[in-house]
A and B are shown apart, each in its own frame.
Chain A
């Protein structure tokens, strides 16, 4: 059973702004029925002020997908398009008092639908399917989407990418590609940082740092092959 907040449950059981606006100014459609969730967002936009005057949604998906969609419509009503573009998937999750980690992709779907609707209003074309490099074939997730979501949410592991985009959660064949992509994203990002001055560490600090690396990087891989590793002691810098 998922740990949903009361606010999320309320937005699932009594969703606000359900439906489809007739003659909308903007439409954003994301997801598909095969993947398990889909969202159609329709907007009314005041031409002069570029303000969203009404927003409605239709969602096929689980409780958190429905609640996230409804939260999105509440969040963007009354905002200008530029203000709405600044909204992040985290804002949607926060509005609901947080989402279970594995359900973060529901908030990402909301943000995607919003971006799609605004692009639709502004006459921007979504890049053609052929141009997009699809990484995860099970859930049809592009490299661009993974890159964007990873940067926006500071995601560094494949599990996090799966929680936020579903990529890698199907057959798993693309997991090495996601790992490689994450490496390129974060190595480029880390470059401009000035080198940190080396400072003397106490043994405890060293142990904590080593344990951290063992826990996060080394142990999961060893355990995957049935092995394990334990830090016994530190002598000086060895």
Chain B
């Protein structure tokens, strides 16, 4: 059975070009870039090439890029650095819909006595900017707001936030893990002080992240040890993965012209078809301003985990904000913050696409998904009356 992978906001396939670029560094080229001999030392140069490629994707200078182990480390490093450097400031602003990499850290810091403002969002997942302006004060050490939301794809007004914070001389960090590679970002003209990205969300392997730190912004290292990354992130370089993320960024910068449009078209086709064919659908998030690859849909009266496992039977990979998939009993904090009714959160499904998806993939999902919803609604004590006709795809009708 063919795998139809529509869960690219969770992780992505390693691009063949990326795999090819990194493998020599897992086999023959195993030297330590800090070594004096050529065998190791030559690798240093390759790391710097990779740094330049990452920098060029986001409009940064190479020296503004440090390699970390993952997006979470980048996020944690940025926030903890601000608190180290400005110990008298005890206030952080973030959002209610952040990824746990920021959200859980902020909750932890709140238990340690920091004052945290969690900005609310509206029903379309858009940030409450009035609340943001009112929250800033002289005690604010750092503001950490994601570039785009991982569950809904909604993009936040990073420029507006950054301009305000620059005027107020407050550090601004953004978790851009979901946005990088999907929409163009140019830090030359975007007032952001620190930015996190992650390799495995843009077709590089897991275990590699990047923290961008704008030139002139002070930074206090999170991991203390050797002199690597100019003393800003100790630990022997994850060479193969650094090469990989450089290659992945190079591929991403080439992709903006055609591929983004290609992905957006597939996403829109999928979304439109599912809304047409499954009664009582609902789109979660601001359709006018979101990542081109993400759609978050709710189907009331059915439960997300059950949908996922039925899709799984057909090789289709997606994800859900339902409580039953989380391991805890809490449904998606993002959809809850948006005020999505519980009935709809439990039946929420996120499809996130990549350049490797095909028209055929989408057609298969369009064919399978209405059947899955129909079957589960027939099982459900709520679904029956409301869902008599789940239409068949046009090409199956005779």
Contact = CB atoms under 8 A, between A and B. Distances in A.
A24 interface: no
Interface stretch (B150-158, B201-209, B377-385): B377-385
B383 A60 contact: yes
B306 interface: yes
A201 B351 CA distance: 60
Given A13-B310, A33-B346, A162-B329, A61 B324 contact: yes
Contacts of B381: 20, 29, 38-40, 58-60
B331 A36 contact: yes
A37 to B, nearest CB: 7
Contacts of A58: 379-381, 384
B172 interface: no
A72 interface: no
Contacts of B325: 62
B310 A62 contact: no
Given A59-B381, A60-B381, A61-B306, A33 B329 contact: no
A39 B380 CA distance: 8
B73 interface: no
Interface in A59-107: 59-63, 65-66, 102
Contacts of A18: 378-379
Given A139-B329, A170-B329, A62 B306 contact: yes
A231 B6 CA distance: 49
B328 interface: yes
B309 A36 contact: no
B322 interface: yes
Contacts of B309: 9, 12, 63
B378 A169 contact: no
A29 B343 CA distance: 18
A61 B383 CA distance: 12
Nearest to A171: B330
Interface in B315-343: 322-325, 327-331, 342-343
Nearest to B327: A102
A65 B381 CA distance: 13
A111 interface: no
Contacts of A166: 329
B297 interface: no
Nearest to A138: B329
B306 A63 contact: yes
Interface string B289-328: 0000000000001111110011001000000001111011
Given A40-B381, A61-B306, 9 more contacts: A9-B309, A12-B309, A15-B379, A29-B381, A36-B303, A36-B346, A61-B303, A62-B304, A62-B305
Interface of A: 2, 9, 12-13, 15, 18, 20, 29, 33-34, 36-40, 58-63, 65-66, 102, 139, 162, 166, 169-170
28 contacts: A2-B305, A9-B309, A12-B306, A18-B378, A18-B379, A33-B342, A33-B343, A34-B343, A36-B323, A37-B303, A37-B324, A38-B381, A58-B379, A59-B380, A59-B381, A60-B303, A61-B324, A62-B305, A62-B322, A62-B325, A63-B305, A63-B306, A63-B309, A66-B306, A66-B379, A169-B328, A170-B329, A170-B330
